Amino acid sequence: MTDRAHAPAQRPHRHHWRRDVVELAALFCAVAVADAIANLVVHGPRGPILLVASAIALLVTAAFHTWWARRHSHAPPPSTAPPGEPAAPAPAAPAAAGSTTLWRMRTTVRDQPGSLAVLCTALARHGVDILTLQTHPLPEGGTVDEFLLRAPQQLPSGELTRAVSRAGGHSTWIERADAHDLVDTPTRLLGLATRTALDAAELPLALRQLLGRCTIHSIPATTLSGRPNAGADAPVEGVLEATVMRLRDPSGGAITVERPYLPFTPTEFARARALVELDARLGPRVPRSQDVLTLPEGNEITVRRADGSDLPAARAMHDRCSERTLGLRYHGPVADADRYLGHLLSPRFGRTLAATTASGKLVALGHLLWDGDETEIALLIEDDWQRRGIGSELLRRLIAMAAEAGCDSVYAVTQAANTGMVAAMRGLGLPLDYQIEEGTLVITARLDATGVGSRLPRGLPLGLPQEHQAPRRPH
């Protein structure tokens, strides 16, 4: 039973004769005073002067009352806090335009009425505006609330976190947001579903954009030697374990998503499963757009996306390449080169561009491979087509794809004797770092330099996942 405070019942009004006597006496007194004032004004020696002075005093009093009323018309209402409780402080004045910061924040609150209201009140006291709010119910009780906040620029994140903690929130996580986060959740989900439907290679990127900062690992069903791969037996319904979710890859194997700093909620797990199911129902698909380029010598080549259907043509190109060319590319036994092609052409491990001649012969491959949190770039060009500018064209497009995906840098593993690859990397006009690692040369290009976006080629399908696991070396 809930205790409630009831207002005392009002008694019926009783008419009493003493009130009539008092009102009648007051009326006679008023008449007597009015008669005295009238006699003083009419028969007194200074009656007119007294009348004018009274009018002036009345006007001054009216003016003063008007000024006072206008001055206090916007005063805050008095506190309505219950007796014994301190009045809530007035909300902070909103910050001036252009001096606010966007934050994404998650916190866990008790699943009981009023807990969210207390949290919102605490944010309002600091002048924080709540732009969007999502709730994620937890099976064990409680709710994860996800906010997009606009806060005064001078308000530090630590103070914001402490305010949420005092309001009952715990396990709070906060990071800077940008204008892209202003898109509402249904619109963002529809956009991700559309990208996934148009290109099977977009599934890892869609998962990452859906779940935020996380690491995605694709585990093939079998190793390069043909043996079953450990960890690739995810059930159809998937598995959710706090900060890790495992989903069955429609192309075979499993997709593992890890986010150590923030547990996944059942709502996020259901959304990820829906995207994977969409990808499975639509089957293999790759955009077929392409660019036709004219080399300096006048020959035309076509640059397009490559996938598993190009495996026979890629093996035929391997047969036409010299052992030196294959050795510079794969950094291992030349006899094992064909075994890597299935991995390289899979859309789960990166992106591959193919260069073909006017007759349709495959003469070059460019790979952009996800290596954990890093990104590797690699080229293989048939001997007869080297030194013709194909490598530079492929490299420029791969760099643009990495920049569009938000990668901070890319690295290339080669040898000092591979002067063509070194020259192509230098021709990008980007800051480069060189280091020797295990007897090979590693060249790292930083993509945060200005001007990368202006070199973004038009006409090729882009859109890449930022973090996708692939074996680093050899490829």
CA distance 369 to 399: 12
- 362 and 427 co-located in one domain: yes
Are the C-beta atoms of 457 and 397 separated by less than 8 Å? yes
DSSP 8-class letter at 410 = E
On whether both 306 and 412 belong to a single domain, the answer is: yes
Question: Taking the alpha carbons of 444, 448, 452, 453 in that order, is the dihedral positive or negative?
Answer: positive
Q: Residue 121: which CATH number?
A: 3.30.70.260
- Say if 323 falls within a structural domain: yes
468-469 and 215-219: which strand pairing? parallel
Q: CB neighbours of 271 closer than 8 A, spacing ≥ 6?
A: 189, 210
Beta bridge partners of 432: 445
CA 316 to chain CA centroid, Å, is: 43
Query: Is residue 35 included in any domain, yes or no?
Result: no
Residue 314's pLDDT band, with cuts at 50, 70 and 90, is very high
Identify the domain boundary among 149, 164, 181.
181
Contacts 24+ apart (CB under 8 A), 152-157: 152/92, 152/94, 152/95, 152/99, 152/100, 152/101, 152/126, 152/127, 152/128, 153/95, 153/99, 153/100, 153/101, 154/95, 154/99, 155/101, 155/126, 155/127, 155/128, 157/103
Contact 330, 474 (CB under 8 A): yes
For the stretch 351-410, pLDDT in tens is: 899 999 988 899 999 998 877 667 899 999 999 999 888 999 999 999 998 887 778 889
Q: CA 41 to CA 61: how far, in whole Å?
A: 21
Q: CA 425 to CA 395: how far, in whole Å?
A: 8
Q: Do 268 and 371 have their domain in common?
A: no
Pairing assessment for the beta strands 244-248 and 300-305 based on DSSP bridges? unpaired
pLDDT in tens, 315-328: 999 999 998 888 88
Q: Are residues 390 and 368 in the same domain?
A: yes
Q: Are 64 and 58 in contact (CB under 8 A)?
A: no
CATH number of the domain within which 405 lies: 3.40.630.30
| 9 has a pLDDT exceeding 70 | no
Same domain, 255 and 298: no
Print the domain residue range for 409. 290-469
Q: How far is CA 465 from CA 97, 186, 244, 349, 408, in A?
A: 35, 21, 18, 9, 13
Closest CA to 190 of 219, 218, 171, 210: 210
Q: What is the mean pLDDT of residues 303-308?
A: 89
Q: Are 351 and 205 in contact (CB under 8 A)?
A: no
Q: Are 405 and 464 in contact (CB under 8 A)?
A: yes
Residues near 344 by beta carbon (within 8 Å), at least 6 away in sequence: 350, 352, 365, 367, 369, 475
Tell whether 191 and 322 lie within a shared domain. no
pLDDT of residue 466: 29
Q: For residue 419, how many C-alpha atoms fall within 13 Å in the half-sphere facing its CB? A: 1
Judge whether residue 16 has pLDDT over 70. no
Report, in angstroms and rounded to the nearest whole number, the Rg of the chain calculated over CA atoms: 38
- Based on the fold, state whether residues 318 and 461 are members of the same structural domain: yes
List pLDDT tens digits, range 37-68. Answer: 667 666 665 666 666 666 676 676 767 667 66
Same domain (yes/no): 165, 225? no
Domain for residue 87, yes or no? Answer: no
pLDDT for the residue 54: 67
Number of domains in the chain: 3
Residue 397 within a domain = yes
Distance CA 366, CA 344 (A): 10
Strand order in the sheet with 244-248: 239-241, 244-248, 254-258, 215-219, 468-469
Report how far apart, in Å, the C-alpha atoms of 129 and of each of 123, 147, 314 are. Answer: 8, 10, 56
Query: What's the pLDDT tens digit per position in 280-294?
Result: 888 877 777 778 888
> Which residues pair with residue 438 across a beta bridge?
none
Question: In the chain, pLDDT over 70 holds for what percent of residues?
Answer: 74
Domain C-terminal end among 282, 317, 343: 282
Residue 137 has pLDDT above 70, yes or no: yes
Question: What is the spatial distance between Cα 307 and Cα 284, in angstroms, rounded to a whole number?
Answer: 10
Q: Average of pLDDT values for 122-142?
A: 87
The owner of tokens 């696991």 is 469
**What is the per-residue pLDDT for 31?**
63
User: Does residue 43 belong to any structural domain of this protein?
Assistant: no
Cβ-based neighbours of 36, under 8 Å, separated by 6 or more? none
Gap between the Cα atoms of 308 and 134, Å rounded? 40
**pLDDT band at 274, cuts 50/70/90?**
very high
Domain boundary among 264, 282, 300: 282
**Residue 15 domain-assigned (yes or no):** no
Question: Using CA atoms, how far apart are residues 108 and 110, in angstroms rounded to an integer?
Answer: 7
- Report the pLDDT value the prediction gives residue 19, as an integer from 0 to 100: 65
How far from 69 is each of 62, 63, 74, 181, CA to CA, in Å?
11, 10, 10, 46
